[in-house]
Amino acid sequence: MKKKWTIPPGMKDVLPGEAKQRRNLINRLMEGFSSYGYEEVGTSSLEFYDVVERDGMDPSEVFKLVDREGHILALRPDVTTPIARMVASRLRDHRLPFRLSYTGSTFRYEHVQVGRQREFTQVGVELIGSDDLMADVEVLLLACESIERAGIERYKVGIGEINVTQGFLEEMLSDEDLVEEARELVIAKNFVGLEVLLQEHAHPNQAHAFLQLVRKNGGPEILDEIAGFSQNTAYQAAIASLCELAKVVQAYGYGDHIFFDFSILRSFSYYTGFVFEGYAEGIGHPVCGGGRYDRLLGIFGFDAPAVGFALGVERILIARDEKVMVDGRDVLILGDDYTEVVIKARELREMGLRVEVDLTSASLAEAADYMQDKNIKRLFVLEGDDYGK
C-alpha cells in the first residue's frame, strides 16, 4: 500500500490557480498601501522566543523550537511585534514617522476550523512615530479601502477603545488578575460569566454600566450614551477622539461601514487605544484587525507611538468565494527541431504572449486534448512538422 503523505493540521498546500489568486490579491493590496506612502519591509519568520512573548499572546499558541545552541526560538504569531523589534534595532536613527507595509506567513497553534488555520498569510501596515488622531484616521480609512480593494463590497468595521473598556475595568476592579479574567470574558463574548464575576467583585452601579457598555453597539450616537459611564480622564479623552474620528469617517463616505462595539479588545495585550475589526459576509471571523499600540516599541528600548492593521489573505479569499480558475496559457508550440522551437518560443514571448512548449503530443488530436485540459487558447505548429501520423 502506498504511504499517504500528509501535512500537519492547520497547514495548507497552495495549488495552481489558487496561488495566482493569492498573489494577485497580495499585489493589489500592497499597491494600495504604496499609494499612501507605505514602504515594504520584511522580517524573519523565526524569532527568539523572548521577542514574541512580549506581545502578550497565550504561550500555548506559539510554535516553539530549540536551536543547537539551546536558544528557544518561535515562529512569529504576528508581524507587528517583529516589526517593532526591527524598527527599534535597525531604524531608530531615522526620521519619524515610518510608514511600513508587509506580507508574510504567521503561525499560531489554534483550534483548526474554517477561516482559522495554524499557518496563514497576513498583509498589513504599521504607522510608527505619531500619536496624532490623524494617524488613527489614516489607518482606519486605509483598512476600509483595502477591504474594498480586495473585492469585498459588503463589510462592516467595528471600532472599540482600550481606554474605554479596559480602562473602565481597571477603575472598577482593583485586582490585576480580576481585570485580566474579566478582559478574557469580554474577548470571548461570555457576558454571562462576566456578569457573575462583576456581581461578586464590583460595585453594582458600575457593574451595570459596564455590562451595558460591552453589550451595546451601533453608530456614533452610542458615544453620547456611554459618555457618562465614567469621569476618568483617559475615558473621556478616548470618547472625544472617537467622536472626532466618526465625524471624519462620515465625511469621507464610509460612515455606513463603521459601528462602535466596546466588547472589541483584540487578543494581543499590546494595544493601548482605539482598536478595530473588519467583518465580511460568509465568514465568522474578522478579515481585518488592528489598532493603536503606543508602548510596544518601548519594550525594545525605542519609545514611539504606533498604529496599524493586518488583513488575513485566506479569510478574504473565503469571503470572496470565487471559483479558482486554471491559469491559462496563450500558445502551445509544437515542433521537432529543438533550436527552432526555443527561438520561436522566445519570439512569441517577446510579443507578450505566454508560451508553453509541447513535450508530450504525438498528434494534433492529442495536442488539442492537452490544450483543453490546460486552458491553452492557440496552437502554433512549426512549418515542416507532421503531427497527423
Domain CATH code at residue 361 = 3.40.50
Residue 349 sits in the same domain as residue 221: no
- List, in order, residues 6 or more apart from 58 with CB less than 8 Å away: none
Structural domain boundaries, residue 358: 329-381
Residue 256 sits in the same domain as residue 358: no
* pLDDT over 80 at 387, yes or no: no
For residue 216, tell me if it sits in a domain: yes
Residue 260 sits in the same domain as residue 363: no
End-of-domain residue from the set 320, 341, 361: 320
For residue 63, tell me if it sits in a domain: yes
For residue 386, tell me if it sits in a domain: no
For residue 73, which of 44, 102, 111 has the smallest C-alpha distance? 44
Measure the CA angle with vertex 25, ends 145 and 137; round to 5°: 20
End-of-domain residue from the set 295, 320, 345: 320
Residue 314 sits in the same domain as residue 342: no
Of the given ranges (48-57, 121-130, 243-252), which has the lowest mean pLDDT? 48-57
What does the DSSP assignment read for 95-134? PSPEEEEEEEEEE-----BTTB-SEEEEEEEEEES--SHH
pLDDT at 266: 87
Residue 112 sits in the same domain as residue 241: yes
Residue 135 sits in the same domain as residue 216: yes
- For 222-242, b where at least 16 C-beta lie within 10 A, e where not — what string? bbeebbebbeeebbeebbebb
| pLDDT level of residue 324 (50, 70, 90 thresholds) | low
Neighbours of 199 (CB within 10 A): 12
Which pLDDT tens digit goes with each residue over 63-90?
A: 999 999 999 999 999 999 999 999 999 9
Average pLDDT over residues 22-48: 96
Domain count, the chain: 2
* pLDDT over 80 at 127, yes or no: yes
For residue 195, tell me if it sits in a domain: yes
pLDDT at 55: 67
| pLDDT level of residue 346 (50, 70, 90 thresholds) | very high
301-306: long-range pairs with CB below 8 Å, 24+: 301/88, 302/87, 302/88, 302/92, 304/87, 304/96, 304/128, 304/129, 305/128, 305/129, 305/130, 305/131, 305/135, 306/84, 306/126, 306/127, 306/128, 306/129
For residue 2, tell me if it sits in a domain: no
Residue 113 sits in the same domain as residue 142: yes
Mean of all residue pLDDT scores within the chain = 91
CATH code of residue 74: 3.30.930.10
Average pLDDT over residues 99-104: 97
Which pLDDT tens digit goes with each residue over 229-285?
A: 988 899 999 999 999 999 999 999 999 999 999 999 987 889 999 999 999 988 889
- List, in order, residues 6 or more apart from 377 with CB less than 8 Å away: 328, 329, 330, 331, 371
Average pLDDT over residues 318-344: 84
Joined grid coordinates for residue 194 = 462576566
For residue 7, tell me if it sits in a domain: no
Residue 211 sits in the same domain as residue 348: no
| pLDDT level of residue 336 (50, 70, 90 thresholds) | confident
For residue 281, tell me if it sits in a domain: yes
* pLDDT over 70 at 56, yes or no: no
Which pLDDT tens digit goes with each residue over 150-170?
A: 999 999 999 999 999 999 999
Q: Give the span between the Cα atoms of 113 and 132, in whole angstroms.
A: 38
Residue 315 sits in the same domain as residue 335: no
Phi/psi at 113 (5° precision): -160, 175
pLDDT at 57: 72
Residue 107 sits in the same domain as residue 176: yes
Which pLDDT tens digit goes with each residue over 176-211?
A: 999 999 999 999 899 999 999 999 999 999 999 999
pLDDT at 388: 44
For residue 65, tell me if it sits in a domain: yes
Residue 229 sits in the same domain as residue 258: yes
Residue 226 sits in the same domain as residue 336: no
